[in-house]
Amino acid sequence: MTSETTPATAPPANTLGSRVKRLRAERGFSLRQLAERAGVTPSYVSAVERGKLSPTIALLGKVLAALGTDLAAFFTAAQAEEARFVFRRDAMQTVEDGGRRYTFVFPKRPDLRLEVLEEMLLPGETPDYEELPVDLAGYVMRGTLLLEIEGIGTEEVQAGDAFYVPAGHPVRGRCLHELPVQLLTMMTPPRY
């Protein structure tokens, strides 16, 4: 197993792969063209499309960006059509890799001016800093989050605590102890 992939073990990987393949065909890209745009190998794209590999969240994000979409749109399209005011848990989509899990609470819709994710961060991962073009806020429900704002400092955010980071500040969060961190994060305006 490499840092780029986790073994495909569940049918959702096949569904994911067929949806990536459909988007690639709709855009008129060859495997090689999509791979070049996403910065991965053609064999990697092929394996994802065939359900042989389940991509990490980061690499799936690169492939989707090369296809002109994003994680939120890819995983919430069906939910966007069904819900008006109440968003049912069973309609929410979840994506995960070895170090974290995201549940898209709201679908991608033009009338929603807020993006909300439920996140589960597992011990041991140290993600890269990410400079978001949106304001980021969060509420820790369980565990202790180590919130790092590049050039400003590091804070321990415990269950019941909240945080806010204005747009443009490179930030990352990770699990501080051996217990996973569960949190809600909100972004405004939504990145989509």
Give the separation between CA 172 and CA 121, rounded to whole angstroms.
Answer: 12
Domain residue spans of the chain: 5-69, 88-188
According to the model, what pLDDT value does residue 7 have?
A: 39
Fold of 5-69: 434 Repressor (Amino-terminal Domain) (1.10.260)
Give the separation between CA 185 and CA 125, rounded to whole angstroms.
Answer: 18
- pLDDT per residue of the chain (192 residues) written in tens, 0 to 9: 334 444 333 334 337 788 888 889 888 999 899 999 999 998 989 988 888 887 877 788 889 889 988 877 787 665 555 567 888 888 888 888 878 898 989 887 888 889 999 999 999 988 889 998 999 999 999 999 999 999 999 999 999 999 999 999 999 999 999 999 999 999 998 876
According to the model, what pLDDT value does residue 173 have?
A: 96
Question: What is the CATH superfamily name and number for domain 88-188?
Answer: Jelly Rolls (2.60.120.10)
